[in-house]
Structure 1
Amino acid sequence: MSTLLEDMMDALIRIFHHYSDKEGDRYKLSKGELKELLTSELTDFLSGQKDPVLVDKIMKDLDSNKDNKVDFNEFVILVAALTVVCNDFFKEWLKKEGF
């Protein structure tokens, strides 16, 4: 039986490949695939965002090798950064609540 962390790692891999397998290079996200992943899988993070070029900005920030695609390593950086931000927010909330 796998652990919760192992299940989450498996989920990250499956989610990435669910979207990367739709166009062109099946091991990288195109801009369209990234946009679909973000809007489908990170709806709470993107709700209220009105920036029409947000996906372009995210793509530029993630695309460290400048191939106009996001590979799994680059994708994991996004997930890790968002997780850190969530943890920081949670810690601040706990402090405000007196925990």
Structure 2
Amino acid sequence: MKTDLELALDCAINIYHQYSVKKPLDDYLSRGEFRALLTENAKPFLTNTKPPGLGIDAYIDRLFVKADHNRDGRLKFTEFLTTLNLVAIEAHKRSHQHPNEPGHGQGQGQGHDHSHGHSHDHGHGPQN
């Protein structure tokens, strides 16, 4: 039986492939495929992690530019992982800004080792 993390990684790979093989048929994400992937699969998450005052489209464009290391206008899987990394780091930071959520916030004396015994689904707030 796969662990939650293994399932999450499989899911990320499968979603990447669903969009990277659209048009043209390749193993890269164009800017449009990248935008569709995020807006169709992660819009509530993006809404919760985007910087204040920045719209979703501008945030997606910023993520694309940051991820496109070789500046070829498309993302290979390793570049796409950069996006997941950036968004996950921001989501994690913001998870600690919600002091009313059990297991998070300041003053717990447990630091940030994350051995505080709860799952990390981090689905903060209502999802639109």
**TM-score (structure 2 length as normaliser):** 0.66
Aligned to 1:23: 23
Q: Which runs of 5+ in 1 are unaligned?
A: none
Question: How many percent of aligned residue pairs carry the same amino acid?
Answer: 28
After TM superposition, the structure 1 = structure 2 runs for residues 1-99 of structure 1, keeping only pairs within 5 Å, are 1-44=1-44, 45-46=46-47, 50=55, 53-93=58-98, 94-95=104-105
Number of residue pairs matched? 98
Root-mean-square deviation over aligned CA pairs: 2.2
- Greater RCO (Cα-Cα under 8 Å, separation 6 or more): 1
Q: Going by fraction, where is helix more abundant, 1 or 2?
A: 1
Q: Which runs of 5+ in 2 are unaligned?
A: 99-103, 109-128
**TM-score (structure 1 length as normaliser):** 0.82
Distance 1:52 1:8 in 2: 25
1:49: Cα distance to partner? 5.4
Distance 2:5 2:56 in 1: 33
**What SS does the corresponding residue of 1:40 show, helix, strand or coil?**
helix
